[in-house]
Chain A
Amino acid sequence: MYEGVVQDLIDELGRLPGVGPKSAQRIAFHLLQADPADVRRLTEVLTVVREKVRFCERCFNVAEDTECRICLDVKRDQSFLCVVEEPKDVVAIERTREFRGRYHVLGGAISPIDGIGPDDLKITELVRRLGEEPIEEVILATNPNLNGEATATYLSRLLRTMGLRVTRLASGLPVGGDLEYADEVTLGRAFEGRRVVDA
């Protein structure tokens, strides 16, 4: 155990995802020895990020305002809506430059084992948007793994009665994986080759 505030720092770092006690200790001592200016910058970003960044009220992507930059961008095509699990998936798809519509971030995927059902995802909000916005095609871009597929099937069954085109990214994405890890070319191709789901 270290003295008071140093131990506090180690404990706080250790609560971050993916950081074990050993790494927490290493990061703590790195910070103690780092250039004060570097540490100040980190402190500022941490403060600002909590104050400024929140979730877009429309699509639940990360945003600096009540709505995110993509929702506010009038040049984006309102007739296409891409449904993803997490904000990081928005980033992955934006990188491909293949998609010019808007997004809807569910906040996860259906997984009974983890107690996550449709009510725990932003699905009611999605349905409301489909009623309010001039959306013509919904592209289901949940992860190409079992829970992502289940979520896509659930949504396609829910949405098919609404008179929209519902499509799913083409196969060819690494099965069992995350969108995040698909390379840009593969992901871009998956977009181009998307198919109407017949679930």
Chain B
Amino acid sequence: MSLGPIAGWTAPRLGGVFVRHLTLQDFRSYESADLEFASGVTTFVGLNGQGKTNIVEALGYLASLSSHRVAQDAPLVRAGAGQAIVRAAVVRDDREQQLELEINPGRANRARLGRSPLTRPRDLLGNLRTVLFAPEDLALVKGDPSERRRFLDGLLVARQPRWAGARADYDKILKQRNALLKTARTATDRQSALSTLPVWDSHLAKVGANLVYARLRLLRDLQPYLQLAYDEVSAGQSDARTSYKSSMYDELAEQLAAGEVPEVGELEAGFAKTFEQQHRAEVERGQTLVGPHRDDVVLQLGALPAKGYASHGESWSFALGLRIAAFQLLRHDLGTDPVLVLDDVFAELDAGRRRRLALMVADCEQVLITAAVGDDVPDSLTGATFTVTLGKVTPDDQ
């Protein structure tokens, strides 16, 4: 597979997608904010704690319906306010569309596309795509498996929004199956308490097998981009690879770790076999022990796992490499660039890496950069600059 020269990373593009306008109401520290953007590079500069990340977090939430910083919605709503609103005007092929999301902690969020209210916020997915790299991404390398699952599934959904539905179904079936196992643990007649287990087994296996299959394909497709991206950000020091760590029975797990992508039917059968093996343990613990919710992705640098072995700088490069690879995959897959967000990235990189990163992102349709110190951002990244002070965002005169 040839990707062409790095500096270009060119791909056939159908037309740009960029955010022209962003409105925040009671989001984080902002009571209200109205920001006008152009395509190309936009930089937010301001001291710590002034509200730079809050802006890009809002955009990321609108694109993915989740925050890169918190799992719950409550912190996203300005202290004292009841709900937050994020609204963006997204330009695609010269046509503008309005996306709006109302964040109601404790209640259902509500979304609008153009003038129409959507039945589910999920239906908003796919109308705006972002790839966001932030200091929190270090957890992709050093953190729990859940961080890596979130990366994988987030990218899956960005690539094909319908996976959001499969994920939601999977979680619901999983909850039911866990509830059943828990009841069985304390039931006097265990046999009868488990009479519907085969049903939940087959439903979980069906949705779960599809999810695992999609993840395996995604990892396979991501690999070449990851290698290239890691080479670039780390100046070609080592070989970055991923392998899927599955909760399936041993032989199948080994196959998957080796990068094989079996048919969905085989994976479904794998569930059945593993359920059988794990039956006693599952009932004892009242928990489902097999499935995509227990899986992980092992990140490898050369012969060693990155987790526990990689240096701080290497971990950083790996995390950044994953995000850049995600960006490249989406660019090539969709024919349009996702909006690239680099939150506080340049401060962590040495001069050489800064230069190379700047080169890589220079031709992206839209890049939003935040920095506490403006000088950390390479001069080659010219574009609009905003100064962020105490939740006030002011465009710098050019």
Contact = CB atoms under 8 A, between A and B. Distances in A.
Contact of A112 (B176, B192, B198, B202): B176
Interface stretch (A133-141, A146-154, A188-196): A146-154
Given A112-B177, A112-B180, A113-B179, A150 B169 contact: no
A14 interface: no
A118 B202 contact: no
Contacts of A146: 169, 172-173, 176, 203
Contacts of B202: 153, 199
A118 B169 contact: no
B160 interface: no
* Residue with the highest number of chain B CB atoms closer than 10 Å, among A111, A112, A119, A146: A112
Nearest to B177: A112
Contacts of A150: 176, 196, 199-200, 203
A118 B199 CA distance: 12
Contacts of A173: none
A149 B202 CA distance: 11
A171 to B, nearest CB: 14
A110 B203 contact: no
Contacts of A110: 196, 199
B341 to A, nearest CB: 32
A143 B310 CA distance: 51
B33 interface: no
Nearest to A113: B179
Interface in A101-118: 110-113, 115, 117-118
B176 A111 contact: yes
Interface residues of A, number: 16
B261 to A, nearest CB: 26
A15 interface: no
A195 B203 CA distance: 18
Contacts of B183: 112, 115
Contacts of B199: 110, 150, 153-154, 157
A92 B179 CA distance: 31
A117 B172 contact: no
Contacts of B192: 119
A50 B196 CA distance: 35
B2 interface: no
B362 interface: no
Interface string A155-171: 00100000000000000
Chain B's interface: helix, strand, loop or mixed, by majority?
helix
B191 interface: no
A154 B196 contact: yes
B193 interface: yes
A149 B179 CA distance: 17
Contacts of B279: none
A71 B173 CA distance: 35
B173 A117 contact: no
Nearest to A158: B195
Interface string B104-136: 000000000000000000000000000000000
A157 B175 CA distance: 22
A157 B199 CA distance: 9
Nearest to B202: A153
A150 B196 CA distance: 8
Contacts of A154: 196, 199
B203 A153 contact: yes
B203 A112 contact: no
Nearest to A199: B202
A118 B195 contact: yes
Contact of B198 (A111, A149, A157): A157
A136 to B, nearest CB: 25
Contacts of A119: 192
Interface in B141-196: 169, 172-173, 175-177, 179-180, 183, 192-193, 195-196
Contacts of B176: 111-113, 146-147, 150
Contacts of B172: 146
Interface in A177-199: 199
Contacts of B173: 146
6 nearest A-B pairs in the assembled complex, by CB-CB distance: A112-B180, A112-B179, A113-B179, A153-B199, A154-B199, A112-B176
29 contacts: A110-B196, A110-B199, A111-B176, A112-B176, A112-B177, A112-B179, A112-B183, A113-B175, A113-B176, A115-B183, A117-B195, A118-B195, A118-B196, A119-B192, A146-B173, A146-B176, A147-B176, A149-B203, A150-B176, A150-B196, A150-B199, A153-B199, A153-B202, A153-B203, A154-B196, A154-B199, A157-B198, A157-B199, A199-B202
Given A150-B203, A154-B196, 8 more contacts: A110-B196, A112-B183, A113-B175, A117-B195, A118-B196, A153-B199, A153-B203, A157-B199
